[in-house]
Every structure is written in structure tokens, then in C-alpha cells.
């Protein structure tokens, strides 16, 4: 079963606009991660936010985490055509048997 659910499923914007994607999850987590996948390729890790953090930045990326609402958001500012990809959130369970559970992803299209 999938822990994270991204919203919206698809998002189309113009270059220069900001893109916001949301993720909701169901159970307690140690951390939440966002990944990017270009069509037909492997996933690339973008950012990790721990359960005791509320906000994190990395370049044009801003991630927020609200553990009371069991939700996270990924904001990409000043989007570029090269940002076109699928974005996935993943929730991590701790311990030696560490596993990440992925949502279905948001397909972001940035039009030039």
C-alpha cells in the first residue's frame, strides 16, 4: 500500500511561474523525502526533511512539513522548462530495515 499521496496528479505552468505540489501521508514518519524522475529514467533525490523540521530550502526548492496534518509541500520557484518531470514524495521508516514508501507522483510540465 502507498503511504504518500501527491496532489495534484498533473500540473502545467508557464516558465517563470512557481509550482507547488502537495503530499499527504497516513502514519508517523521519521522523515519525508522528495524525488524527481525524468521520463524513462531513474529517480533523483531532491531533499529530505526530518519529522522535527518544519521547513527546508535547497536552491529553488522549498519544502514544508506539517506533522499535525500529516502533509508536506514542495515549492519550485521560478520554474524552467528543464524542471519538467514527475515529482514523488516518499516517507521513511527508521531502523535497520529502512524502507521508503512512494506516492504516485505529480507530473509537472513547464511550458517555455
Partner 1 sequence: SQTIHQWPATLVQPVGSPLSLECTVEGTSNPNLYWYRQAAGRGLQLLFYSVGIGQISSEVPQNLSASRPQDRQFILSSKKLLLSDSGFYLCAGTATGELFFGEGSRLTVL
Binding site for partner 1 (CB under 8 A): 2, 31, 33, 35, 40-45, 48, 88, 90, 92, 96-105
User: Among residues 65 and 88, whose Cβ is nearest to partner 1?
Assistant: 88
Question: For strand 31-37 and strand 85-93, is the pairing parallel, antiparallel, or unpaired?
Answer: antiparallel
Reduced to 3 states, what is the DSSP secondary structure of residue 81?
A: helix
User: What minimum distance in Å lies between the beta carbon of 61 and partner 1?
Assistant: 14
User: What minimum distance in Å lies between the beta carbon of 106 and partner 1?
Assistant: 11
User: What minimum distance in Å lies between the beta carbon of 16 and partner 1?
Assistant: 28
Terminal-to-terminal C-alpha distance of the chain:
37
User: Among residues 10 and 78, whose Cβ is nearest to partner 1?
Assistant: 10
Q: Are 109 and 84 in contact (CB under 8 A)?
A: yes
C-alpha cell at 38: 525524468
Amino acid at each position: 500500500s502507498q503511504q504518500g499521496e501527491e496532489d495534484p496528479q498533473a500540473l502545467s505552468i508557464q516558465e517563470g511561474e512557481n509550482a507547488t505540489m502537495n503530499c499527504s501521508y497516513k502514519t508517523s514518519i521519521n522523515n519525508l523525502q522528495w524525488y524527481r524522475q525524468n521520463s524513462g529514467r531513474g529517480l533523483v533525490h531532491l531533499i529530505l526533511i526530518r519529522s522535527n523540521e518544519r521547513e527546508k530550502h535547497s536552491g529553488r526548492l522549498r519544502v514544508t512539513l506539517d506533522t499535525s496534518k500529516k502533509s508536506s509541500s514542495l515549492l519550485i520557484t521560478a520554474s524552467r522548462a528543464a524542471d519538467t518531470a514527475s515529482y514523488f514524495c516518499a516517507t521513511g521508516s527508521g531502523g535497520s530495515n529502512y524502507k521508503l514508501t512512494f506516492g504516485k507522483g505529480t507530473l509537472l510540465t513547464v511550458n517555455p
